[in-house]
Structure 1
Amino acid sequence: MLGVRAISPIVDRVHETRLAYQNGHWVSAAHLRVSIADPAVTQGVSAVERIRAYRGKLFQVETHLQRWKQSTEVLRVAKLPNRDELLSLIDQTLQKNRAWIAGNENFGVLLLASPGVQGKATFVIDLYAIDEQLIQRRTTSGMPLVVTDVMQPDPSCWPRNIKVRSRLHYYLADQFAQDQDPDAIGVLLDNDGTITETSIANVLIVENGCLVSPFIERILFGVSMQAVVKIAADLKLDWLQEPISPERMSRADEVLLTGSSCGIWFANRIDGQATPSNRPVYQSLRKGFDQLIGKSR
């Protein structure tokens, strides 16, 4: 598990309530608190990382931790645990929550940090449950997308390759999308009118068997997308980075989504119009992803 011990099968009934780590203390997750004076509240300054577990093992831990380091450095959140300390704390979080994990086979690890107050950063490690029925529905039936008029903040505001909780633009895009279709998520635009990503997923299209994505410096190049690109290379599928207009996306052979919740899934509708039902590239990539995480289909 890349530095994190395997979770013991022993169930500790004493701690069925989920325990979280905050600034040197283990507390009930229900008691996690952020000060109203913390820049996380006053200015939305907080780094976040969500590390998905598959079959009890955390996925691509080192890649997540590299992005975590980059995000916290950009936000200048200081005095956080170093890599080895962080791995140890994640391990302790898993061990202390064996009972909770036994009842939530599908879960992830959440890291959150903000500048805090009086020079002391707020730092949290928690676990979160994943809705298996939702994942199954998305990976087998897909989900709708709606192209919005909400734009990504320009990279001159903050780098798009850091993962932060300043997500008002994503929230507004999803509100716009769900006004059109309650099951949809919104696709945000770049300043040239081309697509970027959604609040929970990167977007790739398939044209004549070739994968096409926006330029990775214009998006949050997600950990799952990186894994999918490697799988595509193993399958001898070409991958191009090009601007993608909404019209081009609507004409694509397939529209794929990648993100921590499902790994890879697909769009079944774009702005209310059904996408093609034949998805050979998705099926191949899904099979490769399942093999990567050790799951047979």
Structure 2
Amino acid sequence: MSRRCAIWPTTELRSAGSTSIGCESIWQHVLSPCERVFQRGLLLPEWRHCPSCMGVLMMNEPSGLVEDLSEFSGVAPLFPLPDFVLFPQVTQPLHIFEPRYRTMIADVLNGERLIAIGTLKPNWDSLYVTKTAPVYPEVCLGRVMLEREMDDGKYIIVIRGLCRARIKAERLTKTPYRQVELDLKYDKYSETPEIHRGNRRAELLETLIATLPGADGNRETTENALKDLPLGVLSDLISSSLKIPTETMISILAENNVDVRTDLLLEILREQQREKQEPGSGRKFPPDFSAN
């Protein structure tokens, strides 16, 4: 693992017939006493202990897809990461080892438990240790759902994305980590839909299944896991599972109009499908925004 990479590789236990397309990322994570991280949706029902150390698993109980942020102070610590974008309603294990971010987590756990997960812009390396490394203004406000402090003072946390946000100002503080003022951007559903949302859901699922390896063999599992999600959440879950350039991920995160966002996502999925069917075709990826 790179010294600067805080993304913790999740250990997955798959039960028979589980989907391989990554839709489990919306499910809750579980921590074991030996610091292994499991995805709850993939654990067999009878497993309540870690299969490695046999310790009791720490469950993160679901709390609904929409969280009330009306009492959010408007200010959050900024945790900028390279080549990583967190989306709302997606959970991600993180390994916190740098001293400044260990201080940040200790402060967060004594406060609102909220962190703005940001993404570093290109050419960040020389400024990484400073508080001026360039960051995209689009971030995701997340909540620390589970945490474990290890004997050496490092942390393993599981953070859940809550809401899109945009940095409107950065505060001058004495803390070793950065703090930002945020404008929250909730999903917007136009009163007059720009698309037929039922058809769009079907288009997204069909194109996703046709694009990702092994998904067609788990079609029923995939559809059942995703069928009841709001269209905005579905689009974010799909976006988080794609291997696309960071700049394209940021453009999806920046769009809170669900109709427009799914239009962009569908174009990306269709382009990937064409690339899969016609390898070496030389088509531009990511595609330009649709004129529609």
Structure with higher strand content:
1
Provide TM-score, normalisation by structure 2: 0.28
Provide TM-score, normalisation by structure 1: 0.27
